[in-house]
């Protein structure tokens, strides 16, 4: 996912009060490599960036995308 997509999605995956994913976030997520996202599931990288992995893995459903992380 390009940096612009990550930036667009960050408010939706940042606790304590995540916002709803924006259309820009959902558009970027629709082109994201979901297998790659799985590699970050238990990684300390996402939390170190202020991203809650649980919120990140809920984004595809919130964006009403048919694809979801296969992990």
pLDDT at residue 64 greater than cutoff 90:
yes
Radius of gyration of the chain (CA): 11
- Domains annotated for the chain, with CATH where assigned, are 3-62 (1.10.110.10)
pLDDT tens-digit series, residues 15-52? 999 999 999 999 999 998 888 888 888 889 889 988 99
The residue ranking higher by pLDDT, 12 or 46, is: 12
**What integer pLDDT is reported at residue 37 of this predicted model?**
84
Residue with token string 């995308």:
65
**What integer pLDDT is reported at residue 62 of this predicted model?**
95
- Which parts of the chain are beta strand (E)? none
Q: Is the dihedral of CA 47, 49, 55, 59 positive or negative?
A: negative
* pTM, to two decimals: 0.84
Nearest residue to 49 via CA among 6, 1, 16, 19:
6
**What integer pLDDT is reported at residue 25 of this predicted model?**
95
């Amino acid at each position: 996912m390009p940096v612009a997509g990550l930036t667009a999605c960050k408010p939706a995956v940042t606790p304590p009060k995540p916002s709803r994913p924006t259309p820009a976030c959902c558009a970027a997520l629709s082109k994201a490599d979901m297998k790659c996202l799985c590699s970050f599931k238990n990684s300390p990288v996402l939390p170190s960036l202020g991203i809650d992995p649980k919120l990140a893995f809920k984004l595809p459903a919130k964006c009403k995308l048919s694809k979801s992380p296969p992990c």
